[in-house]
Amino acid sequence: MVQSENKDKVGILGGSFDPPHKGHLAISVEAKKRYNLKKIIWAITEKNPFKNKSKNILSKRIKDCRQITKAKPFIKVKFFEKLIKSNKTIDLINYMRKNNKIEIYFIMGADNLINFHNWHKSKEISKKCNILVFDRQGYKRKSLKSKTYTNKHTQNLEFIEFKKVNISSSQLRKI
């Protein structure tokens, strides 16, 4: 992990949060604890480029995120896409890096690591921030065999095993 002195450590957990759930909370709490993060931003996207249209509208997802995080004041729910005019992670990272007083920790589930090499400017993302990959039920083997992990084009990536919460937004949408 790349760490710099005198900078606030800020985590970013991006996604559609459709719906937000205790798994999102669990990795946020664990990331804060393990890496001494000052805050974590849940950066909600209107539409994930790798998924179908969200079931719930953006305003409901934002409201639900604020509701589920209200007991965790270190988690800030934000929608940046209108401000930065993009839903690309690299554009969010570049926007956040304008504040040179922060060090960014990008948080993702192991399922996202599998296709991370397909993300827009993934190599650039991995050079500009620390990437924390949280193990998810059923994804460990695939993610550890992923192009990104096996190529190790990033020394800033850490795979984190922890007590997993066996839940996903996809499962919840089926209920």
Instruction: Judge residue 23's burial from the number of C-beta atoms within 10 Å of its C-beta, 0-12 exposed, 13-18 middle, 19 or more buried.
Output: buried
pLDDT in tens, the chain (175 residues): 666 668 999 999 999 999 999 999 999 999 999 999 999 999 999 988 887 788 899 999 999 999 999 999 999 999 999 999 999 999 999 999 999 899 999 999 999 999 999 999 999 999 999 999 999 888 999 999 998 888 865 678 999 998 766 655 455 435 4
The contacts of residue 139 (CB under 8 Å, 6+ apart) are: 109, 110, 111, 113, 114
Residue 33 pLDDT: 97
Angle at 109 between CA 92 and CA 135, to 5 degrees: 150
Predicted TM-score (pTM) of the model is 0.89
Residue 172 pLDDT: 43
The tokens of 61 are what? 């997802």
Q: What is the dihedral of CA 162, 141, 37, 88, to 10 degrees?
A: -150
Residue 115 pLDDT: 93
Residue 48 pLDDT: 83
Residue 8 pLDDT: 95
Residue 175 pLDDT: 45
Residue 130 pLDDT: 95
Give the domains, in start order, of the chain with CATH numbers.
8-174 (3.40.50.620)
CA–CA dist 39, 12 (Å, integer): 9
